[in-house]
Amino acid sequence: MMEIYNGRPENMEGRLEREVRTYDFLDELGIEYQRVDHEHTDTMGACEEVSKVLNIVICKNLFLCNRQKTAYYLLLMPGDKKFKTKELSAQINSARLSFADGEDMVKYLDIEPGSASVMGLMNDRDKNVQLLIDEDVLKEEYFGCHPCMNTSSLKMKITDVIEKFIPATGHDYKTVHLVGED
């Protein structure tokens, strides 16, 4: 049974530096959050139980790039929506989108594959990654994501993410409309 905690872990022993930095950054911004610790959740299926415990829809976080690897994107979309490359490509004027490799995820966001999260934007000081948010994510009251490590999940207000966290990273975002149907 997963337990819900308010804020950062009391004991940081065994936590990765990138996770600790996430808690430090959120606390510095005065963003309140709830947290659950769990086994590795590197698929949307594995996130279902976490979603139920936190009573939120966990976002699908996709790290994408163009064919030339000159443009990188972090796409946040509802976990139950299908991703269609063609649908997104037309909206951002970038043909031939694909999943970026794990090395680039570590290089730009300091996150390992399976742990992609909007929280990684705090590590992208050179603004190499453009944030894309599906409009349905913005309609929710709460937002769920990993703190740069997929053994914990956070629940916070979407307004705090949009109005405090994203601006503090120096990024902005583009709203996209994804239908996700065949």
Residue 59's CB is within 10 A of a number of other CB atoms, namely 26
Tens of pLDDT, residue by residue over 134-146, are 999 999 999 999 9
pTM for the predicted model, two decimal places: 0.94
Among 14, 1, 9, 42, smallest CA distance to 26 is for 9
What residue ranges do the domains of the chain occupy? 5-172
Decide yes or no: CATH 3.90.1580.10 for domain 5-172: no
φ/ψ of residue 126, rounded to 5: -90, 5
Tens of pLDDT, residue by residue over 7-64, are 999 999 999 999 999 999 999 999 999 999 998 887 767 778 888 899 997 788 999 9
